[in-house]
Amino acid sequence: QPVLVLNAGSSSLKYQLVVPESGHVLASGTVERIGEGGGDGGGGPADHAEALQQMQQRLRDDGVDLQAVGLRAVGHRVVHGGPDFSDPVLVDDEVLSRVRDLVPLAPLHNPGAITGIEAAQEAYDVPQVAVFDTAFFSDLPAAAATYALPRDLAREHRLRRYGFHGTSHRYVAGATADLLGRPLADLDQVVLHLGNGCSASAVHGGRAVDTSMGLTPLEGLVMGTRSGDVDPGLHAFLHREAGLSLDEVDELLNKRSGLQGIAGVNDFREVVRRKDAGDDDARLAFDVFVHRLKHYVGAYLAQLGRLDVLVFTAGIGQNSPPVRAAVVEGLGGLGLSVDPERNEARKNEARVISPDGSPVTVAVVPTNEELAIARQAAEVLSRG
Amino acid sequence: QPVLVLNAGSSSLKYQLVVPESGHVLASGTVERIGEGGGDGGGGPADHAEALQQMQQRLRDDGVDLQAVGLRAVGHRVVHGGPDFSDPVLVDDEVLSRVRDLVPLAPLHNPGAITGIEAAQEAYDVPQVAVFDTAFFSDLPAAAATYALPRDLAREHRLRRYGFHGTSHRYVAGATADLLGRPLADLDQVVLHLGNGCSASAVHGGRAVDTSMGLTPLEGLVMGTRSGDVDPGLHAFLHREAGLSLDEVDELLNKRSGLQGIAGVNDFREVVRRKDAGDDDARLAFDVFVHRLKHYVGAYLAQLGRLDVLVFTAGIGQNSPPVRAAVVEGLGGLGLSVDPERNEARKNEARVISPDGSPVTVAVVPTNEELAIARQAAEVLSRG
Ligand SMILES: Nc1ncnc2c1ncn2[C@@H]1O[C@H](COP(=O)(O)OP(=O)(O)O)[C@@H](O)[C@H]1O
Ligand SMILES: Nc1ncnc2c1ncn2[C@@H]1O[C@H](COP(=O)(O)OP(=O)(O)O)[C@@H](O)[C@H]1O
């Protein structure tokens, strides 16, 4: 019996129908341009309810009948769970209203998730489970979660490090323990999730103790179009010197910075291609990307005090041998290195790429957020 | 023959008359409230020229005659040297005009320095040397100095990591080599300058390869009233949610955050006192301060790939055994520890506080920015 996993944005709906136990995917896809047209054939579906109908039609076209497969549950990806949601939950009215309370923390993301949940509640008479991207980090130690801001302001506006990509970090940490055949509880891990968004986490015994994304998904590593860390004085500087408004600075840092800002392109494959062809900006983008990665690997090594395994995941982490090689370059004295042949091998499964007997294992472990959500949804149901 | 070291702010003038070779201080002090009153006895001196006269009067009162001592040079502390000044320079018209060009980068600091230089040029017929707080970091590797921002914007507005406290970091790195009796060129060091402002640097063979302050002195470690690192999305968040203007956010992050923000007090002694008395906010402030320090120690260990010595300096670094103990706690596996008795000893000289035979030496080395400036000024003269 599959779980339907939904990732609803304001104008798109990603779906996957997957069996939690086996990981077998019956169907997956994306419905786009929601709300951009009418239901009359031109443009996209009018709303999320119509998007679900479109999805069902596509499933039928693929020979999958949602009624016949015996849908077990719908698992919803919700970006922001705020300070309180530390686990997936069965959606009821109270949960929905709490997710609504979190809209100020994630104005671009949570509204889409709410609309998606409501549409799915109408459409399917099965349990709905919300899985939060922040949940894995909700128990960060206070010293890691707290910004050095006035306490009253921080309390009033719920300012703290939330972290994102939590479903991926949690899943990968678990899959890494499986790969190594060691109990999760025994491992100190640094997980690098390097996709369009990038984040690092420090995981001690299966619990996150630090992470690079913060109040918003803008902090930390260099990303496709996001700057990651900058001087907090930059905003006022750009306002004064370049005449930019705060909105313009925010847009700049989120949409026109990162690899895109330095290299002029945000696709990492293209950055590497241009670098290899001798493009100086692409070389700089690569170097800054790697420099920031080393920064966080070292920082989390210090927070953990020791390290069993460094794990690479997501689009760049799984597919870019040069990044993995560059991150551990010069870290042999700290026990980190990769075997060139293992690192270069093009495989899709979880694998170790450090030489046998390395003090610290370096691994590549594919992430699978949909499967993680499906499994967590199934787990919530089995708990009853 | 002494050098007169001047640190001119917009409304204050710190001075020290010191012999570069011996470090002997003939006199030192601060003239305050410049421009806040008339020359008529009420309020402070009218301008920096009058402040210099007031200083000379005080020197005479102390039995020091500037004419008679044979002043060798005046050394000026200039906060911002921009991308180009990588060394102290003899001040001439061209230098002054370049320092003026840098005012946009340091609107709160460089104007005071310029006024101070002009007043001293008028008053003393000796060479004037400008020593820049950023100079030690002007040759940072591009990967460390570059923010992931659009290249054209960065070029136009000279956006990069400049770093500050450079005179102190350079001086302390040298003094640490002296303490250890090893060539500076052979050492990998992490220097923690922890005063009212706090900054960390990674020093390889006497050259800075990374530092925590950035475009402005707001980035990096938690400080007395400055936040250090925050999510770059915080500004827009506070604007949207708390209705703060960009100027208000900037003021908040510079003046009401840091230790002050969390603990309600910015003097580190008081933070420790309250923590020891059981105050939860003070405990949190201490923990966040230490957490960020560990973050940078680890990050710079990774940038260097290895570490010979971790050095503590400035008010907190030199005087707070609990901070030093907390920073290395749990880092024994990385070779870092302190000997409790050495750490607790109240001494003012440079000293090692790690146990004999430690893989990484931990040291306390007093900084002396005035002496460093005087020495650099003397060096510029001797170069001719
Ligand atoms: N073979 C590859 N080599 C290098 N980078 C790759 C490769 N394949 C995909 N990527 C990069 O992975 C990133 C997208 O990662 P992904 O995890 O799919 O993103 P998302 O965060 O949207 O889930 C893009 O920057 C892409 O260029
Ligand atoms: N004995 C002490 N224990 C702990 N902190 C101290 C002690 N003495 C001074 N400090 C702290 O040092 C800081 C000032 O450092 P200092 O280097 O003098 O500052 P500045 O950056 O202004 O030069 C203050 O936070 C002060 O509380």
pLDDT for A184-243, tens place per residue?
Answer: 999 999 999 999 999 999 999 999 999 999 999 999 999 999 999 999 999 999 999 999
Residue B37 banded pLDDT, cuts 50, 70, 90: low
Instruction: Say how many Å lie between the CA of residue B267 and the centre of ligand 2.
Output: 7
Annotated catalytic residue A339: no
The answer to whether residue B305 neighbours chain A at the CB level (below 8 Å) is: yes
Instruction: Say how many Å lie between the CA of residue A342 and the centre of ligand 2.
Output: 51
Query: Which residues in B133-284 belong to E strands, given as ranges?
Result: 188-194, 198-204, 207-211
- Token pair, residue B168, equals 């102190």
Would you say B117 and B50 are in contact if contact means Cβ atoms under 8 Å apart?
Answer: no
Question: For A70, which DSSP code?
Answer: T
Q: Quick check: B147 and A230 CB within 8 A?
A: yes
Q: Quick check: B333 and A299 CB within 8 A?
A: no
Q: Quick check: B149 and A333 CB within 8 A?
A: no
Would you say A111 and A103 are in contact if contact means Cβ atoms under 8 Å apart?
Answer: yes
Would you say A4 and A71 are in contact if contact means Cβ atoms under 8 Å apart?
Answer: yes
Q: B327-330: long-range contacts at Cβ-Cβ below 8 A with a sequence spacing of 24 or more?
A: B327/B192, B327/B290, B327/B293, B327/B294, B327/B297, B328/B362, B330/A305
Q: What is the pLDDT of residue A383?
A: 84
Please give the torsion angle defined by the CA atoms of residues B112, B115, B119 and B124, in that order, rounded to the nearest 10 degrees: 70
Reported pTM: 0.95
CA dist., res. B115 & res. B51, Å (int):
11
Q: What is the pLDDT of residue A220?
A: 98
Give the best residue of A237, A244, A255 to mutate against chain B (max B CB count within 10 A): A237
Would you say A17 and A124 are in contact if contact means Cβ atoms under 8 Å apart?
Answer: no
CA dist., res. A101 & res. A99, Å (int):
5
Instruction: Say how many Å lie between the CA of residue A320 and the centre of ligand 1.
Output: 9
Regarding beta strands B207-211 and B351-352, do their DSSP bridges make them parallel or antiparallel, or are they unpaired?
unpaired
Q: How many CB pairs under 8 A join A and B?
A: 258
B148 → closest Cβ in A159, A219, A222: A222
Residue B221 banded pLDDT, cuts 50, 70, 90: very high
Q: What is the pLDDT of residue B44?
A: 85
Ligand at minimal distance from the CA of A194 is 1
The answer to whether residue B185 neighbours chain A at the CB level (below 8 Å) is: no
Q: Is the pLDDT of residue B38 over 60?
A: no
Range B321-347 average pLDDT: 97
The answer to whether residue A351 neighbours chain B at the CB level (below 8 Å) is: no
Q: Is B370 exposed, middle or buried (0-12, 13-18, 19+ CB in 10 A)?
A: buried
Instruction: Return the SS3 of A43.
Output: coil
* Token pair 């020091």: residue: B64
At A7-36, the pLDDT tens digits run 998 888 999 999 999 999 999 999 999 887
List the 241-300 stretch of A: residues with Cβ below 8 A of B.
241-242, 246-247, 249-250, 252-254, 256-259, 261-262, 264, 281, 284-285, 287-292, 294-300
Chain B residues with beta carbon closer than 8 angstroms to that of A161: 231
At B273-328, the pLDDT tens digits run 999 999 999 999 999 999 999 999 999 999 999 999 999 999 999 999 999 999 99
Divide the 384 residues of chain A into consecutive groups of 10 and give the mean pLDDT of each group: 92 94 95 75 81 91 89 95 92 95 89 92 94 96 98 97 97 98 98 96 98 97 97 97 96 97 97 98 98 98 98 97 98 98 95 98 97 96 84
Q: Quick check: A299 and B303 CB within 8 A?
A: no
Instruction: Return the SS3 of A361.
Output: strand
Residue B88 banded pLDDT, cuts 50, 70, 90: very high
* Token pair 């000293």: residue: B351
List the 55-114 stretch of B: residues with Cβ below 8 A of A.
104, 107
Q: What is the pLDDT of residue B35?
A: 85
Range B181-210 average pLDDT: 98
CA dist., res. A241 & res. B216, Å (int):
14
Closest CA to B192 of B202, B180, B184, B181: B202
Give the gap in angstroms from C-alpha B2 to the nearest C-alpha of chain A. Answer: 38
Number of helices (H), then strands (E), belonging to chain A: the values are 16, 12
Tallying the residues shown for chain A, one arrives at 384
Q: What is the mean pLDDT of chain B?
A: 95
In order, the DSSP letters of B17-51 are EE-TTT--EEEEEEE--TTSS-SSSSSS-SSHHHH
Nearest-atom number in ligand 1 for the CA of A224 is 25
Q: What is the pLDDT of residue B234?
A: 98
At B104-162, the pLDDT tens digits run 888 888 888 999 999 999 999 999 999 999 999 999 999 999 999 999 999 999 999 99
Q: What is the pLDDT of residue A344?
A: 97
